[in-house]
Amino acid sequence: MLYKRTKFFDFNYRKFIGSWAWILHRLSGLALIFYLTLHIWIINTLTRGSEPFNEVMTFLGSPLFKFLEVGLWGVILYHAFNGIRVVIIDFAKGSLFHKKLFFILTTIAFILWVAGSVVILTHIH
């Protein structure tokens, strides 16, 4: 009887930069799917006229959602910039310098995240 030890994921395998990039890409992807579902559901309230829509929009204007928006902006940036990294890896020999690519692209994403967050947080209606 052979024993199957790795059921789905070997959690105690060491994680290198490539593994972290991939794990974060998957998680941010899931977060984006969740956001898009929510987004479509909210837009859907428009089909019942402007009143329900405005109600939801005032609810979403609360400070809690401001912070969630900052998080969303970060998730979008990471997913987009790591996506660019994956394209460079597959089509432009990026495997040879993938760790540098990760640091360069996440740094750009981080700068954009800080800049965007300032705009989001200072724009209170």
Contacting residues toward another protein, per CB under 8 A: 1-6, 8-10, 12-14, 16-19, 21-22, 86, 89-91, 93-96, 98
Q: Give me the residue label for tokens 């690519």.
A: 101
Q: In the complex, what is the shortest distance from the CB of residue 118 to another protein, in angstroms, rounded to a whole number?
A: 33
Q: In the complex, what is the shortest distance from the CB of residue 9 to another protein, in angstroms, rounded to a whole number?
A: 6
Alpha helix segments (H runs only) across 45-97: 50-60, 63-91
Q: Find the helix or strand (DSSP H, E) in which 100 lies.
A: helix 98-122
Nearer to another protein, 7 or 48 (CB): 7
Alpha helix segments (H runs only) across 45-62: 50-60
Nearer to another protein, 13 or 63 (CB): 13
Q: In the complex, what is the shortest distance from the CB of residue 123 to another protein, in angstroms, rounded to a whole number?
A: 37
Angle at 21 between CA 19 and CA 25, to 5 degrees: 115
